[in-house]
Amino acid sequence: MRKNIVAGNWKMNTTVSEGVELAKEVNAALKAAKANCDVVICVPFTHLCPVAAAIDATVLGLGAENCADHKSGAYTGEVSAAMVASTGANYVILGHSERRQYYGETSETLREKVALALENNLKPIFCIGEVLEERENGTFNEVVRCQVEEGLFNLSAEDFGKIVLAYEPVWAIGTGKTATAEQAEDMHAFIRGVIAEKYGKEIADNTSILYGGSCKPSNAAELFAKPNVDGGLIGGAALKCADFMGIVSAF
Ligand code: PEP
């Protein structure tokens, strides 16, 4: 059966020393109180090596927030999936709405990134979600269906089975505005149905679908209680150990 996962997305926050301290704190908290879900932190590229050295990979997973859409070569400033994997990381967030919006990531580039991540044994946490206008004009299901189909449905069933999805309504990211547990559940059930149409019920049932968007200790339990919500991708609240652990302990 699918795993429950709580993954932090630190975005462009913390210096290396601050990040190592935070990772150590989370690691220690997880050792003190065993989590009932998998826990992952996704950190800036600069932090991957020192954080990998500071944590125990058996209690805390590590991921990057992005990777390049090329294997290697003359792409100044880019970081490849192989480089990410060589740090000891085992996850990578792909298709975050901030990358789609500010860096022009398209389904086409994301297909390349997903393929390279999988080739390097990184588990993609693939983000999808509608903007406010699409929520309000009622097109949100079709927008999300398109993102899933265009970004992922070129994969074999075996490779699709390695993907973690994160539904992140863009209007709820960093805004303090959370989707209601019912809105999240409806969308997650819809996404699972879309996956089942293509890959069958078993693969759909085995796919972890996380919710992201202003998730915090006070709303995590209600969200995670929904049958199709398999955890969270956490931005702001992942930057304080107590808040992050408050969300982890919602399972
Ligand atoms: C995110 O950016 O992935 C996210 C969910 O952010 P926040 O929790 O801050 O809304």
Q: Could you report the per-residue pLDDT of 49-73, keeping only the tens digit for each?
A: 999 999 999 999 999 999 999 999 9
Whether 1 shows a pLDDT value over 90: the answer reads no
DSSP state of 2: P
Q: Rounded to the nearest 10 degrees, what angle do helices 217-224 and 241-248 cross at?
A: 20
DSSP state of 154: T
Tell which atom from ligand 1 comes closest to the C-alpha of 238.
8
pLDDT band at 177 (very low <50, low <70, confident <90, very high): confident
Distance (angstroms) between ligand 1 centre and the Cα of 74 equals 32
Q: Whose CA is nearest to atom 2 of ligand 1?
A: 235
Neighbour tally for 241: CB within 10 Å: 18
Q: Could you give phi then psi for residue 93, rounded to 5 degrees?
A: -75, 130
What mean pLDDT comes out for the span 75-80?
98
Active site residues: 96, 168
What mean pLDDT comes out for the span 203-207?
98
Q: Whose CA is nearest to atom 1 of ligand 1?
A: 235
57-61 long-range contacts, CB within 8 A, separation 24+:
57/88, 57/90, 59/27, 59/30, 59/31, 59/34, 59/35, 60/23, 60/26, 60/27, 60/30, 61/7, 61/90, 61/91
pLDDT value, residue 199: 98
Distance (angstroms) between ligand 1 centre and the Cα of 16 equals 21
Q: How wide is the angle at C-alpha 100 spanned by C-alphas 95 and 106, nearest 5°?
A: 80
Tell the residue number behind the tokens 């109180």, with chain if given: 33
